[in-house]
A and B are shown apart, each in its own frame.
Chain A
């Protein structure tokens, strides 16, 4: 029960100066709504996944882009990072992550995402959020990361360049975040492209688990990385910067794997 109260109290410490008189930001985010689900976040984060965040104090104040490896078939990794920033960071922060473009058309899911601060992943939305000094979460591997099979676990897939252009345009620091545990929560043996096409879904993993397994999640936050340059530059000029983030993140992932003694505790 103390955990519940603490979780709610931490949500209560979120800044309110960027909200309107009814407690919403222009994107529809509502700390009051988040406070209502904070106890659930506490249970999932602390009890079910027994998550641990290392180096979270390295996240600088003000605008920042968290760049993480993507895994686990369903985006629980994003939720874990968001819980960490809310329940373990000082002061608590709300992570704004990007959702797929079909999400606003889904009943219930649409407004749940909106009230919890998640926005459709258009470049314009990201820029606006960063200019409001928000914390953005990006998975540069995209679907290729989350839907990879168990045999490719913890191998970073190709990175998109969008996050780097955003960082350059808005002069935002990048903090790499290695997520350890996600690959084992729902091991995918096979990704059926045929079925995915049938449902117009990005992937259709074949996994033996119905619910994500109660693996222990570990998050490793790296040092902030700052880049300078033209956001509109050619791909070949952006590429080396992206590669340096990718290799830093891969090293962080390897460190996390080395330090891990067991998947479940």
Chain B
């Protein structure tokens, strides 16, 4: 859906075609759910937060002016819902924000596993765990970038941070994640070369 199509759709929804909100939700449910899932770390909370975000978006759809992408606006709502939930649960369950060290200690050394396919699966799981162990501020930035695919500028819009801070935060999140994975023995050390791969949309395709 292009930005113009989206805008048109929203105009029609606001004009009373309620049912048209469904395709709009469908178009963004994956991004919203994954952001919530990585922020909140569990499926049920992520579902609750996703619904709440879409309902908040519905309630304030009239205030969406199309100055930013709808997805960016929606991710900001989602982020706010998630941070609210984290803050609340932080008061109730101290572990939700401070589990970094604890979770780190549980990572087994998987370096010796001979099957690469299995290793990949394990790497994926370790990356997930590592991501979830990051403080929410870092997690949010990294998820918005690498899972939701937002640009630095868009993340700045979502978070209200300066773009420079966004870059820095994403880097720090990656640094932390890498340190954790390396100390857990999760990375492949297959001697692959690290020569320049060119920009390639910023995605490195080694794996």
> Do A and B come together as binding partners?
no
